[in-house]
Chains A and B, each alone.
Chain A
Amino acid sequence: MSDLRELYQEVILDHNKRPRNFRVLNPASHEAKGHNPLCGDRITVYLTVVDDIIQDIAFQGQGCAISTASASLMTEALKGKTIAEAERLFEHFHEMVTTDQEPPSGMGKLAVLQGVRDYPSRVKCATLSWHAVQAALNRQTDPVITE
């Protein structure tokens, strides 16, 4: 049970129940879809980028608690960041959920998702929204598919 609480922390349950920035941005300067065919998770991310800074970011979609909470926490973390900072944060986030290393500093609330590393099948849930943001910033038109 203690292990599970590490995965399903209060912050995660809260962001799952009341996802932040859960809306459509219209117009958005960047947008992309993410799809996890094995899970059925689907997400669309929207960004408004001005002068390389993410002025606003939002998402829509449906998925498990891990993917919804991760997307919600991501939108909070990325708002106001430059594109370079966002890319670096994704690298750090990916490292945090896929390796046993101490998480890099500056992860803020994203650190609650560290428990995902113990559940390899759930890593793709936590990273789906990040992959979608990367695709949006790269102007990728096909949906990102993670398996």
Chain B
Amino acid sequence: MIAFGAALNWVREIGYDFIGQHEQDLLEYATAQFRQIPGLHIIRSAAAKASVLSFTLDGIHPHDVGTIMDMEGVAVRTGHHCAQPVMDRYGIPATTRASFGVYNTRADVDVLVAAIYKVKEMFGS
């Protein structure tokens, strides 16, 4: 409870506007980088969305992506995210999902992108 109180104070100090802006900046920065990666498909591209990027890589299952990225120090969520009907809608078994918070930086996005290239290198794609 004490930690939660401190966390809330921290969020209030920074302010929701700043947090929102920062997350949108990271989302835009990452989206632009992802679009350069051959064989990567971003799942959904709504104009207004939370700073979450779900994606697939041609020929590489998200669980393999997740294990390799983990070893590269990047934590992502993989799988169907308890949203099987959506996965069926896109005809995919699962996705890899990266999310950005106020504590992330553009440098973190660069590490994320480098890790994706590592995955592709390992699978020779």
Q: Which residues of A contact B (CB under 8 A)?
A: 1, 3-4, 7-8, 13, 17, 38-42, 62-66, 119, 121-122, 125
Contact = CB atoms under 8 A, between A and B. Distances in A.
Interface string B78-91: 01100010010000
A93 B111 CA distance: 36
Contacts of B63: 39, 64, 66, 122, 125
Contacts of A4: 67-68, 71, 122
B64 A64 contact: yes
5 contacts: A40-B79, A40-B84, A40-B87, A42-B93, A121-B67
Contacts of B123: 8, 13, 65
A7 B67 contact: yes
Contacts, number: 45
A7 B84 CA distance: 28
B116 interface: no
A39 B71 CA distance: 19
Contact of B64 (A1, A8, A38): A8
Contacts of A122: 63, 67
A75 B62 CA distance: 24
B61 A63 contact: yes
B124 interface: yes
A17 to B, nearest CB: 8
B27 interface: no
B94 interface: yes
B124 A13 contact: yes
Contacts of B67: 4, 7, 119, 121-122
A17 B93 CA distance: 17
